[in-house]
Amino acid sequence: MKHIFIGILTAILLLSPFKGFSETLTPKRITEWSRTAAQGDAGAQFNLGLLHAKGQGVPKNYAEAFKWFHLAALQGNAQAQLCLGAMYHDGLGVPKNYAEALKWVRLAAQQGNVQAQLYLGAMYANGLGVPQSYSEALKWFHLAALQWNAQAQFNLGLLLAKGQGVPQSYPEAFKWVRLAANQGLADAQFNLGAMYANGQGTPQNDAEAFKWFHLAANQGLAGAQCNLGAMYANGQGTPQNYAEAFKWVRLAALQGNAQAQLYLGAMYVNGQGTPQNYAEAFKWVRLAALQGNTQAQFYLGAMYANDLGVQKNYAEALKWVRLAALQEISKCTESTRTLMRTLIEKGIQKPEHP
Protein backbone atom coordinates (compact mmCIF):
# COMPACT_ATOMS: atom_id res chain seq x y z
CA MET A 1 0.00 0.00 0.00
CA LYS A 2 1.13 3.52 -0.75
CA HIS A 3 0.92 6.61 1.42
CA ILE A 4 -2.63 7.62 2.22
CA PHE A 5 -1.84 10.54 4.46
CA ILE A 6 -4.43 12.83 2.97
CA GLY A 7 -4.98 14.50 6.32
CA ILE A 8 -8.27 16.10 5.34
CA LEU A 9 -8.93 18.87 7.83
CA THR A 10 -12.51 18.40 8.90
CA ALA A 11 -15.31 20.85 8.25
CA ILE A 12 -16.17 23.38 10.91
CA LEU A 13 -19.19 22.08 12.78
CA LEU A 14 -21.76 23.68 15.04
CA LEU A 15 -21.67 21.80 18.32
CA SER A 16 -24.72 21.55 20.56
CA PRO A 17 -24.48 23.74 23.67
CA PHE A 18 -27.13 21.73 25.52
CA LYS A 19 -25.11 20.01 28.23
CA GLY A 20 -27.09 18.00 30.74
CA PHE A 21 -26.73 18.16 34.50
CA SER A 22 -24.20 15.71 35.89
CA GLU A 23 -25.54 16.06 39.44
CA THR A 24 -28.53 14.15 40.77
CA LEU A 25 -31.76 16.02 40.14
CA THR A 26 -34.37 15.67 42.86
CA PRO A 27 -38.02 16.69 42.57
CA LYS A 28 -37.37 19.14 45.42
CA ARG A 29 -34.60 20.90 43.46
CA ILE A 30 -36.73 21.13 40.31
CA THR A 31 -39.62 22.55 42.36
CA GLU A 32 -37.29 25.14 43.87
CA TRP A 33 -36.00 26.17 40.43
CA SER A 34 -39.58 26.47 39.18
CA ARG A 35 -40.44 28.76 42.09
CA THR A 36 -37.42 31.04 41.72
CA ALA A 37 -37.66 31.06 37.92
CA ALA A 38 -41.24 32.32 38.18
CA GLN A 39 -39.89 35.07 40.44
CA GLY A 40 -37.47 36.12 37.72
CA ASP A 41 -34.22 34.41 38.71
CA ALA A 42 -32.21 34.14 35.45
CA GLY A 43 -30.10 31.23 36.64
CA ALA A 44 -33.16 29.19 37.56
CA GLN A 45 -34.81 30.12 34.26
CA PHE A 46 -31.78 28.85 32.38
CA ASN A 47 -31.77 25.63 34.43
CA LEU A 48 -35.44 25.00 33.65
CA GLY A 49 -34.78 25.61 29.97
CA LEU A 50 -31.98 23.07 30.02
CA LEU A 51 -34.14 20.49 31.82
CA HIS A 52 -36.86 20.80 29.19
CA ALA A 53 -34.34 20.78 26.31
CA LYS A 54 -32.68 17.59 27.57
CA GLY A 55 -35.75 15.93 29.08
CA GLN A 56 -34.05 15.61 32.47
CA GLY A 57 -36.46 15.31 35.36
CA VAL A 58 -39.26 16.59 33.13
CA PRO A 59 -40.64 15.51 29.72
CA LYS A 60 -38.62 16.90 26.81
CA ASN A 61 -40.39 20.01 25.56
CA TYR A 62 -38.57 22.39 23.23
CA ALA A 63 -41.32 25.02 23.40
CA GLU A 64 -40.95 25.19 27.19
CA ALA A 65 -37.17 25.18 26.88
CA PHE A 66 -37.35 28.10 24.43
CA LYS A 67 -39.62 30.04 26.77
CA TRP A 68 -37.28 29.76 29.75
CA PHE A 69 -34.10 30.35 27.73
CA HIS A 70 -35.68 33.47 26.26
CA LEU A 71 -36.60 34.88 29.68
CA ALA A 72 -33.08 34.25 31.00
CA ALA A 73 -31.46 35.58 27.81
CA LEU A 74 -33.40 38.85 28.09
CA GLN A 75 -31.78 39.30 31.50
CA GLY A 76 -28.31 38.87 29.96
CA ASN A 77 -27.59 35.28 30.93
CA ALA A 78 -24.86 34.35 28.41
CA GLN A 79 -25.42 30.60 28.49
CA ALA A 80 -29.14 31.13 27.93
CA GLN A 81 -28.39 33.48 25.03
CA LEU A 82 -26.21 30.79 23.46
CA CYS A 83 -28.86 28.10 23.91
CA LEU A 84 -31.55 30.41 22.57
CA GLY A 85 -29.42 31.05 19.50
CA ALA A 86 -28.90 27.32 19.04
CA MET A 87 -32.67 26.75 19.17
CA TYR A 88 -33.20 29.37 16.47
CA HIS A 89 -30.41 27.77 14.45
CA ASP A 90 -31.88 24.25 14.70
CA GLY A 91 -35.56 25.23 14.65
CA LEU A 92 -36.25 23.73 18.07
CA GLY A 93 -39.37 25.11 19.75
CA VAL A 94 -39.36 27.98 17.27
CA PRO A 95 -39.15 28.32 13.44
CA LYS A 96 -35.58 28.15 12.17
CA ASN A 97 -34.11 31.65 11.89
CA TYR A 98 -30.37 32.08 11.30
CA ALA A 99 -30.50 35.87 11.75
CA GLU A 100 -32.02 35.50 15.22
CA ALA A 101 -29.57 32.72 16.00
CA LEU A 102 -26.66 34.98 15.09
CA LYS A 103 -28.06 37.84 17.18
CA TRP A 104 -28.30 35.82 20.39
CA VAL A 105 -25.08 33.88 19.93
CA ARG A 106 -23.22 37.13 19.31
CA LEU A 107 -24.58 38.62 22.55
CA ALA A 108 -23.26 35.63 24.46
CA ALA A 109 -19.91 35.70 22.65
CA GLN A 110 -19.46 39.39 23.42
CA GLN A 111 -19.76 38.49 27.10
CA GLY A 112 -16.79 36.16 26.72
CA ASN A 113 -18.74 32.89 26.67
CA VAL A 114 -16.26 30.49 25.10
CA GLN A 115 -18.87 28.14 23.64
CA ALA A 116 -20.65 31.09 22.06
CA GLN A 117 -17.40 32.39 20.58
CA LEU A 118 -16.80 28.98 19.02
CA TYR A 119 -20.40 28.80 17.76
CA LEU A 120 -20.27 32.33 16.34
CA GLY A 121 -17.02 31.57 14.54
CA ALA A 122 -18.66 28.51 12.97
CA MET A 123 -21.63 30.58 11.82
CA TYR A 124 -19.32 33.06 10.10
CA ALA A 125 -17.26 30.24 8.57
CA ASN A 126 -20.39 28.60 7.17
CA GLY A 127 -22.25 31.80 6.24
CA LEU A 128 -25.24 31.12 8.48
CA GLY A 129 -27.34 34.23 9.20
CA VAL A 130 -24.52 36.39 7.93
CA PRO A 131 -22.38 36.60 4.77
CA GLN A 132 -19.54 34.10 4.98
CA SER A 133 -16.45 35.72 6.47
CA TYR A 134 -13.38 33.68 7.30
CA SER A 135 -11.71 36.72 8.86
CA GLU A 136 -14.58 37.08 11.35
CA ALA A 137 -14.56 33.33 11.93
CA LEU A 138 -10.83 33.53 12.62
CA LYS A 139 -11.37 36.36 15.10
CA TRP A 140 -13.92 34.44 17.18
CA PHE A 141 -12.08 31.13 17.00
CA HIS A 142 -8.95 32.89 18.20
CA LEU A 143 -10.77 34.38 21.19
CA ALA A 144 -12.14 30.94 22.13
CA ALA A 145 -8.79 29.27 21.47
CA LEU A 146 -7.11 31.66 23.90
CA GLN A 147 -9.58 30.38 26.51
CA TRP A 148 -8.20 26.91 25.80
CA ASN A 149 -11.17 25.54 23.89
CA ALA A 150 -9.81 22.55 21.97
CA GLN A 151 -12.34 22.69 19.12
CA ALA A 152 -11.62 26.40 18.61
CA GLN A 153 -7.88 25.72 18.59
CA PHE A 154 -8.38 23.06 15.94
CA ASN A 155 -10.69 25.27 13.85
CA LEU A 156 -8.13 28.06 14.03
CA GLY A 157 -5.47 25.66 12.81
CA LEU A 158 -7.80 24.62 9.98
CA LEU A 159 -8.18 28.20 8.74
CA LEU A 160 -4.44 28.83 8.99
CA ALA A 161 -3.63 25.65 7.07
CA LYS A 162 -6.06 26.55 4.30
CA GLY A 163 -5.21 30.26 4.24
CA GLN A 164 -8.82 31.26 4.88
CA GLY A 165 -9.21 34.69 6.44
CA VAL A 166 -5.46 34.85 6.96
CA PRO A 167 -2.30 34.17 4.93
CA GLN A 168 -1.58 30.43 4.87
CA SER A 169 0.88 29.39 7.55
CA TYR A 170 1.58 25.73 8.23
CA PRO A 171 3.82 26.52 11.25
CA GLU A 172 1.00 28.48 12.90
CA ALA A 173 -1.53 25.84 11.90
CA PHE A 174 0.71 23.16 13.41
CA LYS A 175 0.95 25.12 16.66
CA TRP A 176 -2.81 25.34 17.16
CA VAL A 177 -3.60 21.84 15.93
CA ARG A 178 -1.03 20.43 18.34
CA LEU A 179 -2.57 22.34 21.26
CA ALA A 180 -5.96 20.84 20.43
CA ALA A 181 -4.47 17.37 19.94
CA ASN A 182 -2.78 17.55 23.34
CA GLN A 183 -6.23 18.12 24.84
CA GLY A 184 -7.41 14.84 23.32
CA LEU A 185 -9.48 16.09 20.36
CA ALA A 186 -9.51 13.18 17.90
CA ASP A 187 -9.82 15.29 14.74
CA ALA A 188 -6.83 17.34 15.84
CA GLN A 189 -4.80 14.22 16.64
CA PHE A 190 -5.57 12.82 13.19
CA ASN A 191 -4.58 16.03 11.43
CA LEU A 192 -1.47 16.47 13.56
CA GLY A 193 -0.44 13.00 12.44
CA ALA A 194 -1.03 14.04 8.83
CA MET A 195 1.07 17.17 9.30
CA TYR A 196 3.94 15.09 10.70
CA ALA A 197 3.55 12.58 7.86
CA ASN A 198 3.58 15.29 5.20
CA GLY A 199 6.10 17.63 6.85
CA GLN A 200 3.64 20.52 7.03
CA GLY A 201 4.69 23.13 9.58
CA THR A 202 7.14 20.66 11.12
CA PRO A 203 9.92 18.34 9.93
CA GLN A 204 8.57 15.10 8.46
CA ASN A 205 8.49 12.43 11.16
CA ASP A 206 6.88 9.01 10.64
CA ALA A 207 7.23 8.02 14.29
CA GLU A 208 5.30 11.09 15.44
CA ALA A 209 2.73 10.58 12.68
CA PHE A 210 2.21 7.00 13.85
CA LYS A 211 1.83 8.13 17.46
CA TRP A 212 -0.90 10.67 16.70
CA PHE A 213 -2.75 8.46 14.24
CA HIS A 214 -2.79 5.75 16.89
CA LEU A 215 -4.27 8.09 19.50
CA ALA A 216 -7.02 9.23 17.13
CA ALA A 217 -7.65 5.67 15.92
CA ASN A 218 -8.19 4.52 19.49
CA GLN A 219 -10.96 7.13 19.71
CA GLY A 220 -12.66 5.48 16.71
CA LEU A 221 -11.78 8.00 13.99
CA ALA A 222 -12.00 6.11 10.70
CA GLY A 223 -9.48 8.22 8.78
CA ALA A 224 -6.91 7.73 11.50
CA GLN A 225 -7.58 3.98 11.60
CA CYS A 226 -7.04 3.80 7.85
CA ASN A 227 -3.78 5.76 8.01
CA LEU A 228 -2.57 3.72 10.97
CA GLY A 229 -3.20 0.54 9.03
CA ALA A 230 -1.21 1.92 6.10
CA MET A 231 1.72 2.71 8.39
CA TYR A 232 1.69 -0.83 9.77
CA ALA A 233 1.52 -2.23 6.22
CA ASN A 234 4.37 -0.04 4.99
CA GLY A 235 6.52 -0.28 8.14
CA GLN A 236 6.50 3.49 8.55
CA GLY A 237 7.10 4.75 12.06
CA THR A 238 6.67 1.18 13.31
CA PRO A 239 7.84 -2.32 12.34
CA GLN A 240 5.85 -3.76 9.45
CA ASN A 241 2.93 -5.83 10.70
CA TYR A 242 0.26 -6.94 8.24
CA ALA A 243 -1.93 -8.44 10.96
CA GLU A 244 -2.14 -5.06 12.72
CA ALA A 245 -2.57 -3.32 9.37
CA PHE A 246 -5.51 -5.56 8.51
CA LYS A 247 -7.09 -5.00 11.93
CA TRP A 248 -7.06 -1.20 11.68
CA VAL A 249 -7.97 -0.95 8.01
CA ARG A 250 -10.91 -3.29 8.60
CA LEU A 251 -12.17 -1.13 11.49
CA ALA A 252 -12.11 1.92 9.25
CA ALA A 253 -13.76 0.04 6.37
CA LEU A 254 -16.59 -1.10 8.64
CA GLN A 255 -17.26 2.57 9.39
CA GLY A 256 -17.69 3.22 5.67
CA ASN A 257 -14.33 4.84 4.93
CA ALA A 258 -13.93 4.37 1.16
CA GLN A 259 -10.13 4.48 1.14
CA ALA A 260 -10.04 1.82 3.85
CA GLN A 261 -12.53 -0.33 1.94
CA LEU A 262 -10.26 -0.16 -1.10
CA TYR A 263 -7.18 -1.08 0.93
CA LEU A 264 -9.02 -3.89 2.70
CA GLY A 265 -9.90 -5.28 -0.70
CA ALA A 266 -6.22 -5.07 -1.71
CA MET A 267 -5.19 -6.92 1.44
CA TYR A 268 -7.64 -9.73 0.65
CA VAL A 269 -6.26 -9.92 -2.91
CA ASN A 270 -2.66 -10.10 -1.69
CA GLY A 271 -3.29 -12.22 1.40
CA GLN A 272 -1.74 -9.61 3.68
CA GLY A 273 -2.74 -10.08 7.31
CA THR A 274 -5.52 -12.42 6.22
CA PRO A 275 -5.91 -15.47 3.97
CA GLN A 276 -6.28 -14.55 0.29
CA ASN A 277 -9.96 -14.22 -0.59
CA TYR A 278 -11.00 -12.75 -3.93
CA ALA A 279 -14.71 -12.78 -3.07
CA GLU A 280 -14.08 -10.64 0.01
CA ALA A 281 -11.77 -8.44 -2.02
CA PHE A 282 -14.49 -7.86 -4.60
CA LYS A 283 -17.04 -7.06 -1.89
CA TRP A 284 -14.90 -4.32 -0.31
CA VAL A 285 -13.59 -2.83 -3.54
CA ARG A 286 -17.15 -2.60 -4.81
CA LEU A 287 -18.26 -0.75 -1.67
CA ALA A 288 -15.48 1.79 -2.17
CA ALA A 289 -16.31 2.15 -5.86
CA LEU A 290 -19.96 2.82 -5.07
CA GLN A 291 -18.79 5.76 -2.93
CA GLY A 292 -17.04 7.24 -5.95
CA ASN A 293 -13.45 6.27 -5.13
CA THR A 294 -11.73 6.40 -8.53
CA GLN A 295 -9.01 3.89 -7.69
CA ALA A 296 -11.64 1.44 -6.49
CA GLN A 297 -13.69 1.96 -9.63
CA PHE A 298 -10.67 1.13 -11.78
CA TYR A 299 -9.77 -1.93 -9.71
CA LEU A 300 -13.39 -3.09 -9.73
CA GLY A 301 -13.34 -2.91 -13.51
CA ALA A 302 -10.13 -4.92 -13.54
CA MET A 303 -11.69 -7.54 -11.27
CA TYR A 304 -14.68 -7.90 -13.59
CA ALA A 305 -12.32 -8.17 -16.59
CA ASN A 306 -10.06 -10.75 -14.96
CA ASP A 307 -12.60 -12.99 -13.20
CA LEU A 308 -11.33 -12.06 -9.71
CA GLY A 309 -13.95 -12.68 -7.03
CA VAL A 310 -16.74 -12.27 -9.54
CA GLN A 311 -17.80 -13.86 -12.81
CA LYS A 312 -16.06 -12.26 -15.80
CA ASN A 313 -18.19 -9.48 -17.25
CA TYR A 314 -16.60 -7.15 -19.77
CA ALA A 315 -19.60 -4.83 -19.87
CA GLU A 316 -19.37 -4.21 -16.12
CA ALA A 317 -15.60 -3.90 -16.41
CA LEU A 318 -15.84 -1.16 -19.01
CA LYS A 319 -18.58 0.62 -17.06
CA TRP A 320 -16.42 0.98 -13.94
CA VAL A 321 -13.20 1.83 -15.75
CA ARG A 322 -15.03 4.54 -17.68
CA LEU A 323 -16.44 5.96 -14.44
CA ALA A 324 -12.94 6.14 -13.01
CA ALA A 325 -11.57 7.81 -16.14
CA LEU A 326 -14.41 10.34 -16.30
CA GLN A 327 -13.83 11.42 -12.71
CA GLU A 328 -10.15 12.17 -13.25
CA ILE A 329 -9.71 12.40 -16.98
CA SER A 330 -6.63 14.62 -16.61
CA LYS A 331 -5.04 12.00 -14.34
CA CYS A 332 -6.11 9.03 -16.40
CA THR A 333 -3.16 6.66 -16.18
CA GLU A 334 -1.71 4.66 -19.05
CA SER A 335 -2.88 1.47 -17.32
CA THR A 336 -6.45 2.83 -17.33
CA ARG A 337 -6.23 3.75 -21.00
CA THR A 338 -4.77 0.37 -21.86
CA LEU A 339 -7.51 -1.52 -20.04
CA MET A 340 -10.19 0.61 -21.68
CA ARG A 341 -8.72 0.00 -25.13
CA THR A 342 -8.58 -3.73 -24.46
CA LEU A 343 -12.19 -3.82 -23.31
CA ILE A 344 -13.43 -1.74 -26.23
CA GLU A 345 -11.55 -3.97 -28.67
CA LYS A 346 -13.54 -6.89 -27.28
CA GLY A 347 -16.62 -5.22 -28.70
CA ILE A 348 -18.54 -4.68 -25.49
CA GLN A 349 -19.24 -0.96 -25.67
CA LYS A 350 -22.91 -1.85 -25.02
CA PRO A 351 -24.01 -3.88 -21.97
CA GLU A 352 -24.23 -7.60 -22.53
CA HIS A 353 -27.56 -9.29 -21.91
CA PRO A 354 -27.97 -12.84 -20.64
**DSSP code per residue over 231-269:** HHHHTSSS---HHHHHHHHHHHHHTT-HHHHHHHHHHHH
What are the start-end ranges of the H helices in the chain? Answer: 27-38, 42-54, 62-74, 78-90, 98-110, 114-126, 134-146, 150-162, 170-182, 186-198, 206-218, 222-234, 242-254, 258-270, 278-290, 294-306, 314-327, 334-345
User: What's the pLDDT score for residue 198?
Assistant: 94
d(CA 145, CA 260): 33
User: What's the pLDDT score for residue 327?
Assistant: 78
User: What's the pLDDT score for residue 352?
Assistant: 34
User: What's the pLDDT score for residue 338?
Assistant: 64
Dihedral (Cα; 250, 328, 340, 301), 10-degree rounding: 20
312: left (phi over 0), alpha (psi -120 to 50) or beta: beta
User: What's the pLDDT score for residue 25?
Assistant: 79
> Model's pTM, two decimal places?
0.85
Q: What is the pLDDT along the chain (354 residues), one digit of tens a residue?
A: 333 333 333 444 455 665 655 566 788 999 999 999 999 999 999 999 999 998 888 999 999 999 999 999 999 999 999 999 999 999 999 999 999 999 999 999 999 999 999 999 999 999 989 999 999 999 999 999 999 999 999 999 999 999 999 999 999 999 999 999 999 999 999 999 999 999 999 999 999 999 999 999 999 999 999 999 999 999 999 999 999 999 999 999 999 999 999 999 999 999 999 999 999 999 999 999 999 999 999 999 999 999 999 999 999 998 998 898 887 654 555 655 565 556 555 544 333 332
User: What's the pLDDT score for residue 87?
Assistant: 94
User: What's the pLDDT score for residue 271?
Assistant: 95
User: What's the pLDDT score for residue 93?
Assistant: 94
